[in-house]
């Protein structure tokens, strides 16, 4: 036999052995057993260490889990950015002794309105803004009031900020999911303002959703006691009744309450609530309103560390600030001794303790109330995870959610396997009846094809989904189609009077162009689906691309090796086709 043929046989046998090696963890459930023995790896048999750690990854529809899409709401982020610009303006006025009456932000348009400027002060302010914020703000001059200046965020600035916020949100979500410990998550952008999150095999979906959605915006604000508590409660009740607002404490409801009361409250103040829950049923029982300064004195961006501590068998979150945070927290507590400081997380007041004395150590704590110790500790762990990763730059609004149970995933696997086997049997029978001995060769190549596809999925740690199984079936069909083209060409050559060797050579040569055309065009379609698809569509594309690549080898090379063997070794003059 020619040396080239021998090397092809060695390559095929080598690929089969490597494929078997890669599929052992999948076939014998190594990954599940490793997960169960995570705390005691030594309890596993010795041979586990000689095989790959993971087998084929199962997608959400096969393994069970949760699929979510979140919309990125950057309205608060824009307001916060404008707040920082206002702080810079005030420092500029103080440093340059520029006289002014007020610097306010229109929360609807995010415009900055400065009043009480002199002619020189107006000119200096415009120059400062043009120098520091030229690409961020557009100057709007008032024709009737020369002591007033208005600056509006530019469209380019808003677009760049939105893009940056979405990218940061995507990265924050990815970090949180990674720290949560979900195996093989899928997190990606959809369009310009949506994030798709796929968490297969997750056991506590609601907890994962809470960690992802929680903005983690930590703020410390001073409580304004200028409005008596009883009057504040009555004002809120009247607004709820007059505007038919729901009796809840969601972000939307609180925002509407603040909007309706903004003219009745002291300037630059907002209302926030400390929500109260039943310690046993965990149901919401009410909310205590607080009137707070709108601007935060210290934020979570100044955190150095967050960790869980316990006192009197009650877990709490201990906070440590960085140098800037320590200084600002010390100044804030020093200037407001005797007042209450609200500790806020995502717009909700956690606690509002009275400042007894200046706190210069740069430390604070968040208590979580009363209840079951393990539940409180889990809540503290989630809060620490969020705070350590940092706040989301924008609010995430849940757009869609799909939960797939493990039993449904197991049922999908069973049906997918049954469908694949049933289809394969029908194809095998047809090929044997119609192409006889050559059909048997094609069937063996088809089994090798399936073996290689599964091993490639294990090697590249690709995710197998239900549409992915459909992709495998499709590629098996295309592999058979390639053999059908070759066999029909060989038949034509035999009918024309050619010998076995010449018919095989001519059949493969003439059919190859058609096979390559069909596979390449389908491969391009698979690449497009993989690039722009998500979830199940991407799973289909992965198996399609791998299957097409493998089928070109098994259908064209492996079957040709068998023909070459019999024609060369046994000098066959007839072909069973």
Highest mean pLDDT among 175-179, 396-400, 559-563, 569-573: 559-563
Highest mean pLDDT among 114-128, 135-149, 171-185, 301-315: 114-128
pLDDT of residue 235: 92
The pTM is what? Answer: 0.59
CB atoms within 10 A of CB 270: 21
CATH code for the part of the protein at 3-22+59-64+405-569: 1.20.1640.10
Gap between the Cα atoms of 307 and 345, Å rounded: 16
Reported as a single tens digit per residue, the pLDDT across 543-559 is 888 888 888 888 888 88
- For the chain, give every domain's residue range: 3-22+59-64+405-569, 75-158, 214-403
Which residues, other chains included, contact 95 with Cβ-Cβ below 8 Å and sequence gap of 6+?
none
Reported as a single tens digit per residue, the pLDDT across 426-447 is 888 988 998 888 889 889 998 9
% of the chain beyond a pLDDT of 70:
90
pLDDT of residue 27: 81
pLDDT of residue 537: 79
pLDDT greater than 90 at residue 290: yes
Top pLDDT among 396 and 237 is at: 237
Which of these, 392, 176, 218, lies nearest to 303 by C-alpha position?
218
Gap between the Cα atoms of 162 and 156, Å rounded: 10
pLDDT of residue 37: 55
pLDDT of residue 360: 84
Q: Taking the CA atoms of 22, 26, 27 and 30 in sequence, report the sign of the dihedral they define.
A: positive
Segment (H or E) for 404 = strand 395-404
Reported as a single tens digit per residue, the pLDDT across 259-289 is 889 888 888 899 999 888 776 666 777 888 9
Which of these, 133, 130, 132, lies nearest to 122 by C-alpha position?
130
Reported as a single tens digit per residue, the pLDDT across 436-478 is 888 898 899 989 998 999 998 888 877 787 888 888 888 888 8
pLDDT greater than 90 at residue 291: yes
Which of these, 504, 471, 468, lies nearest to 487 by C-alpha position?
504
Q: Confirm or reject CATH 3.40.50.300 for domain 214-403, answering yes or no.
A: no
Top pLDDT among 142 and 492 is at: 492
pLDDT of residue 143: 64
Reported as a single tens digit per residue, the pLDDT across 105-161 is 887 888 888 888 888 888 888 888 888 888 888 888 766 667 888 888 888 888 888
Reported as a single tens digit per residue, the pLDDT across 320-358 is 888 888 888 888 888 888 898 888 877 888 888 888 888
Which of these, 183, 42, 59, 108, lies nearest to 469 by C-alpha position?
59
> Where would I find the beta strands (DSSP E) of 74-208?
102-106, 111-115, 137-141, 149-153, 186-190, 194-200
pLDDT of residue 104: 85
pLDDT of residue 272: 92
Class of domain 75-158: alpha beta
Tracing tokens 């029909």 back to the chain, one arrives at: 488
pLDDT greater than 70 at residue 33: no
């Amino acid at each position: 036999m020619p040396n080239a043929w021998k090397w092809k046989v060695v390559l095929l046998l080598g690929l089969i052995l490597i494929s078997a090696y890669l599929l052992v963890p999948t076939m014998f459930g190594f990954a599940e057993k490793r997960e169960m023995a995570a705390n005691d790896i030594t309890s596993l048999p010795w041979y586990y260490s000689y095989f790959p750690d993971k087998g084929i990854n199962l997608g959400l529809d096969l393994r069970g889990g949760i699929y979510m899409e979140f919309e990125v709401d950057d309205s608060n982020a824009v307001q916060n950015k404008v707040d920082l610009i206002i702080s810079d303006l005030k420092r500029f006025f103080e440093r340059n002794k520029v006289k002014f009456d007020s610097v306010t932000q229109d929360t609807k348009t995010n415009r900055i309105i400065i009043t009480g400027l002199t002619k020189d002060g107006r000119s200096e302010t415009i120059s400062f803004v043009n120098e520091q914020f030229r690409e961020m703000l557009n100057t709007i001059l008032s024709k009737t009031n020369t002591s007033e200046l208005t600056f509006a965020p530019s469209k380019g600035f808003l677009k760049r900020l939105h893009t940056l916020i979405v990218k940061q949100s995507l990265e924050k979500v990815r970090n949180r999911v990674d720290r949560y410990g979900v195996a093989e998550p899928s997190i990606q952008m959809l369009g310009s303002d949506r994030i798709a999150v796929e968490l297969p095999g997750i056991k506590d979906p609601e907890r994962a959703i809470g960690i992802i959605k929680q903005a983690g915006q930590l703020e410390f604000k001073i409580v304004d006691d200028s409005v008596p508590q009883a009057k504040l409660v009555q004002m809120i009740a009247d607004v709820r009744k007059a505007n038919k607002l729901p009796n809840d404490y969601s972000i939307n409801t609180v925002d509407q309450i603040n909007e309706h009361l903004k003219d009745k409250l002291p300037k630059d103040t907002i209302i926030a609530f400390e929500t109260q829950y039943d310690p046993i049923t965990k149901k919401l029982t009410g909310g205590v309103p607080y009137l707070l300064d709108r601007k935060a004195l210290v934020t979570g961006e100044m955190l150095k560390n967050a960790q869980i501590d316990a006192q009197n068998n009650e877990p709490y979150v201990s906070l440590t600030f960085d140098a800037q945070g320590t200084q600002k927290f010390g100044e804030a507590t020093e200037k407001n001794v005797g007042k209450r400081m609200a500790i806020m997380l995502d717009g909700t007041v956690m606690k509002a303790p009275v400042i007894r004395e200046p706190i210069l150590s740069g430390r604070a704590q968040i208590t979580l109330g009363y209840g079951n110790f393990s539940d409180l500790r889990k809540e503290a762990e989630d809060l620490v995870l969020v705070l350590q990763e940092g706040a989301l730059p924008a609010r995430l609004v849940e757009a869609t959610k799909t939960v797939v149970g493990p039993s449904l995933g197991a049922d999908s696997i069973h049906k997918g396997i049954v469908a694949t086997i049933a289809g394969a049997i029908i194809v095998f029978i047809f090929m044997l009846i119609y192409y006889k001995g050559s059909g048997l060769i094609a069937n063996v190549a088809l089994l090798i094809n399936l073996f290689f596809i599964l091993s490639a999925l294990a090697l590249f740690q690709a995710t197998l989904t239900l549409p992915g199984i459909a992709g495998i079936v499709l590629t098996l069909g295309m592999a058979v189609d390639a053999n059908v083209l070759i066999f029909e060409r060989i038949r034509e050559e035999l009918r024309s009077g050619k010998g076995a060797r010449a018919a095989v050579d001519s059949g493969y040569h003439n059919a190859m162009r058609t096979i390559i055309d069909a596979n390449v065009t389908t491969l391009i379609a698979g690449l497009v689906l993989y690039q722009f698809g998500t979830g199940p569509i991407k799973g289909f594309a992965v198996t399609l691309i791998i299957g097409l690549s493998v089928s070109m080898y098994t259908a064209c090379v492996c079957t040709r090796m068998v023909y070459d063997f019999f024609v060369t070794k046994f000098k066959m003059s007839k072909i069973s086709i």
